[in-house]
Structure 1
Amino acid sequence: MQVEENERLPFWEMYFDGASSIRPVRPPNIARARAGIGLIFVAPEGGIMRFSFSLTEPRTNNEAEYEALLAGLEIAIDVRIQHLQIFGDSQLIINQFLGIYKIGKVELAHYHRRAFELLKQVPNVKIARVP
């Protein structure tokens, strides 16, 4: 069995997730949206970096997932990661990223474009969905 060159390269792993919730604030029972993202990077040697952020603006769950992906790519670029395996649990985001799903909501199109702009700065990237 022949192994491709990039299969032997040491890949970092990045796990991303985003979430949003709407809770009533008392008083006067006005709905308040909160969103946050989480990232875990695993170095080829096994070291771990964890990040979590609260988003300042309300976001949908899908927007929060994209925010997490973008933040992870920006961090990967900042620390000069060259080989990155990305894992996310959002079927929509992963499949849009892979070109399997079309972008049906205009609100997500700018996230998608930005992700591909950032990807140009990481030479070797793989992406997969995890349940």
Structure 2
Amino acid sequence: MECMEEDPSESERGIWKLSVDGSSCNSGSGAGLVLTSPDDWTLEYALRFKFKATNNEAEWEALIAGLTIAKHLEVQKIEASSDSQLVVGLANGEYEAREDPMVKYLSHFQGMKSAFEVLRILKVPRAENV
């Protein structure tokens, strides 16, 4: 029996991609998210909030909605990208949540992390976001 070394990209296989973007203005707030499977099957969602949200709150809502959908699809590995420095910094433990809404979003996010074998949150430039 021949023994083959594990392919270095083996851990990268099966990773879903989640792109999120939130927005807030005087007329309302909402978010968009795109969830893409490893074989390029894509789900796109547009969310309109019935509550007033800041841009960062809208980003959190999009991230949590995307992760909730991924969890229901039994996704094990996911890489999420956002253009919000604050949300990415909080999610990765680089920033400390100080305002009550951010503390609550971070706590909710941390409670969801155990549903995934791999969960990475990346900061992307606004121009490259969905």
TM range (shorter): 0.7 to 0.9
Q: Paired residue for 1:3?
A: 8
Q: Which amino acid aligns with 2:8?
A: V
TM-score by length of 1: 0.85
- Report the aligned-residue RMSD: 1.4
* Residue 5 of structure 1: how far off its partner (Å): 4.7
Distance 1:13 1:4 in 2: 16
SS at match of 2:14: coil
Q: Paired residue for 1:87?
A: 81
* Residue 6 of structure 1: how far off its partner (Å): 1.9
Answer yes or no: is 1:18 the counterpart of 2:45: no
Structure 1 runs, 4 residues or longer, greater than 6 Å off: none
SS at match of 2:45: strand
Distance 2:10 2:43 in 1: 27
Q: How many residues are treated as equivalent by the alignment?
A: 119
List gaps (5 residues or longer) in structure 2.
1-6, 126-130
